[in-house]
Structure 1
Amino acid sequence: MNYFELFDLPVCLQVDKNILPKKYFELQKKYHPDFFSQASEDEQAEVLEKSSDINKAFKIFQNPDLTLKYVLQLKGLLEEEEKYQLPPDFLMEMMELNEELNENSINAIKAIENEAYSAVKQIIETYNDATANTADLLKVKEYYFKKKYLQRILDRIND
């Protein structure tokens, strides 16, 4: 069972932040280990695992980047610790940005991130699992890795 099935949600790239807490609390109420203290050891272990999955799913669904990563993994398009090759023009732009890294770089990074998002905005915001195609998801994958790269630069600036 994947996390979307667990939460009874359609597979999407943006989880509705209004529905998520409600679903989470319903599931926690239903599968909280304290309610199964009189159950068999097997049932208790099963409920404990389910409760852990609920917490992991909630954490993923609260974070847009983790949600993208999860869907890409679910679709078999992203492996854990994958070494993704970003486009050479993007890497050249990052190399130039890195050479003159300063306080003003934050604005440049945000602009690059916004530009990268605009290329996949429609895909992310209107994603429908039934009609989704691999080409669109590969564009989202590239965006995911660009954003990760940009975040590493921002982290360096903030350190």
Structure 2
Amino acid sequence: MDNYFELYQLPVSFHPDAAKVKARFYELSRQYHPDRFTQAGNTQMLEALTMAALNNKAYKTLSNADATMAYVLKMHDVLKDEEKYNLPPAFLMEMMDINEAVTEYEELPTNTTLREQLESTLAEQFADWKAAADKLTTTYNNDTPNQAELLQIKDMYFRKKYLLRIQERINKFASRNDADSTIGT
């Protein structure tokens, strides 16, 4: 696994400094831009293309909070690709009412009151998630990684993925309803 933090000369963190990430991205983009290697040999050109691709992946990851969270968890071998994770039953029970309301909304997508209630409830869930996740991730210390903390952060990662799937369901029917309402105008 490539170490994006080493590439960007940053400490491992769930919250890398955005200005430093951006500055290092542009610095490496200039350094490894393929146009600078048009007269170089195949080996140098291939190295530049490889580094440019790595730089793009690093920037895409480190400039996105969710991708950074997943990346750090993978660095510590806590998160696997395509992992099937079992969320705690208490969380799933809490989500049951929201899921039932979303199903009701899918059956009656013109019910704007229900849509607004769902969006408000989901916004509260995301705010609660952010507060809990920030509390865990800001105290993280890569010098002494704590397995229990990393597992809690992993749980938070999968909770957010679950909330995002609910949001996608709402948005899917909201956009379909919005498109249907403009057809007759």
Residues 78-112 of structure 1, C-alpha deviation per residue, up to 9 Å, x if partnerless? 11111110000111111221111241112212222
Please tell me the root mean square deviation across aligned C-alpha atoms, in Å: 1.3
* Higher Cα Rg, which structure: 2
Show the counterpart of 1:50: 51
Tell me whether 30-39 or 19-28 shows the greater mean CA deviation.
Answer: 30-39
- The question of 1:152 aligning with 2:165 is answered yes
Structure 1 distance, partners of 2:155, 2:122, is: 16
Show the counterpart of 2:140: 127
- Using the size of structure 1 for normalisation, the TM-score is 0.93
Residues 34-70 of structure 1, C-alpha deviation per residue, up to 9 Å, x if partnerless? 1122222112111101100100110111110000001
Aligned residues: 159
Structure with more helix by fraction: 2
Structure 2 distance, partners of 1:26, 1:126, is: 30
Q: Can you give the 5+ residue segments of structure 1 that lack an aligned partner in the other structure? A: none
Which structure's relative contact order is higher, taking Cα pairs within 8 Å and 6+ residues apart?
1
Identity %: 42
Structure 2 distance, partners of 1:46, 1:126, is: 37
Tell me whether 112-121 or 148-157 shows the greater mean CA deviation.
Answer: 112-121
Show the counterpart of 2:6: 5
Partners of 1:117 and 1:143 within 8 A in 2: no
- Using the size of structure 2 for normalisation, the TM-score is 0.81
Show the counterpart of 1:82: 83
4+ aligned runs moved over 6 Å, structure 1 = none
Residues 119-151 of structure 1, C-alpha deviation per residue, up to 9 Å, x if partnerless? 332231233210221111111110110001000
